[in-house]
Amino acid sequence: DILMTQSPSTLSASVGDRVTITCRASQSVSRQLAWFQQKPGKAPRLLISRASRLQSGVPSRFSGSGSETEFTLTISSLQPDDFATYYCQQYSDYSRAFGQGTKVEVK
Amino acid sequence: EVQLVESGGGLVQPGGSLRLSCAASGFAFSNYGMSWVRQTPGKGLEWVASISGTDATSYYADSVRGRFTISRDNSKNTLYLQLNSLTAEDAAVYYCAKGDCENDCYLCDYWGQGALVSVSS
């Protein structure tokens, strides 16, 4: 099975900061990579699919890049509503594995 | 607006059974594959099972195959997950999720709020 590893596990940042989260796959997933945002007690929300395709309604400050085994999620200017946990997920193979999550917290 | 509402969670003893339901609305339910994904503090998010939209072909993670059964009733816009032979490792929040395609969709674009399953004697 493909293993997904995110870094960092926790990120402390302030409103207005540029934030970057990395996701690495143990083998190539092409561009079959999605990013989710989750707030406490809520369902995951799909932000980005196909590594860089922004879902409808997602603010343009979110962007994704990468291919094969290395991917990034960038928030260009962190807003109060963005403090949450972010997960990557590969959907290239049957296991459809998720990363362990990156918590973005207030600095 | 897509809505997915889970029900049926609760406390069950090891070896016991539970049935989760997910009421769907806001989209053509029968045209989409559906999935169950669970979340625990220790193991994070884990795909459990999926079912295709029209022919109801089912797919399972190795960890639940033979114990869990996913099914759907397109006339009721409802997804189900039958959980049998439960162990402590099955304790989790179970999310119902809509696939982004008709069959075994590896990507889910909408998720419900989750149903908590606790396993304890």
Decide if pLDDT at B95 tops 90: yes
pLDDT in tens, B52-77: 998 889 999 999 999 999 999 999 99
Decide if pLDDT at B102 tops 90: no
- With contacts defined as CB-CB under 8 Å, which chain A residues touch B110? 46
pLDDT value at residue B42: 84
User: Which residue bears the tokens 């022919």?
Assistant: B55
Please check whether residue A59 is in contact with residue A75, taking contact to mean a CB–CB distance below 8 angstroms: no
Mean pLDDT by 10 residues, chain A (107 residues): 96 98 97 96 95 97 98 98 97 93 96
Q: Are strands B10-12 and B68-73 parallel, antiparallel or unpaired?
A: unpaired
Backbone angles phi, psi at A51, to 5 degrees: 70, -35
pLDDT averaged over every residue in chain B: 95
Please check whether residue B111 is in contact with residue B2, taking contact to mean a CB–CB distance below 8 angstroms: no
pLDDT value at residue B79: 98
Name the closest residue on chain A to residue B50, using Cα atoms.
Answer: A94
Q: Quick check: A87 and B47 CB within 8 A?
A: no
Can you tell me the mean pLDDT for B15-36?
96
Give the CB-side neighbour count of residue A16, counting CA atoms within 13 A.
0
- Cα separation, A43 vs B109, whole angstroms: 11
DSSP state of A76: S
Q: Quick check: B45 and A44 CB within 8 A?
A: yes
pLDDT value at residue B31: 93
pLDDT value at residue B114: 96
Please check whether residue A73 is in contact with residue A88, taking contact to mean a CB–CB distance below 8 angstroms: yes
Q: Shortest CB distance from B109 goes to which of A46, A93, A101?
A: A46
Q: Which two tokens stand for residue B2?
A: 């897509």
- With contacts defined as CB-CB under 8 Å, which chain A residues touch B114? 43
CA R_g for chain A: 13
